[in-house]
Amino acid sequence: MTVDRAVQWLAYAARRSVDDVWAIVGVLPDDSLVELGVMLENSVLLNPPTHRPVKVHRAVCQCGCGQWFEREYRTNKPKYKSDAHKAHAAYVRRRLAGKR
């Protein structure tokens, strides 16, 4: 990382112009600026990851079978053990809606 790139990261973090940041940090040694810039660049708060991590969820199937299952997901927690269990739950809901 160069000193200019480090100052750009400092300006981004401080929400100030690059010229304002140069006026303040111009007296610091170059290696300190580069080290601070690398820390800001690697910060998850300033530079969040672009992909969602894969998580594992362990729960009881909501179709009514009561079986435990473990599935990987990225956005929403899975409610059913498989697509067949999901289809069965939808069938039961439709059947109950028709009897009322």
8 A C-beta contact, residue 12 and residue 21: no
The reported pLDDT for the residue numbered 100 is 57
pTM of full prediction above 0.85: no
| Domain parsing of the chain, residue ranges | 3-41, 55-99
- Say if CB 72 and CB 56 are below 8 A apart: yes
pLDDT, one tens digit per residue, over 18-57 is 999 999 888 889 899 999 999 999 988 888 878 888 999 9
What is the tens place of the pLDDT at every residue in 58-79? Answer: 999 999 898 999 999 988 889 9
* pLDDT for the residue numbered 56: 93
**Of 90, 27, 41, which is closest to residue 64 (Cα–Cα)?**
90
Taking alpha carbons only, the member of 59, 89, 85 closest to residue 73 is 59
Q: Which residue has the tokens 């009561």?
A: 66
Residue 25 has which token pair?
Answer: 């940090």
- Cβ proximity of 33 and 7 under 8 Å: yes
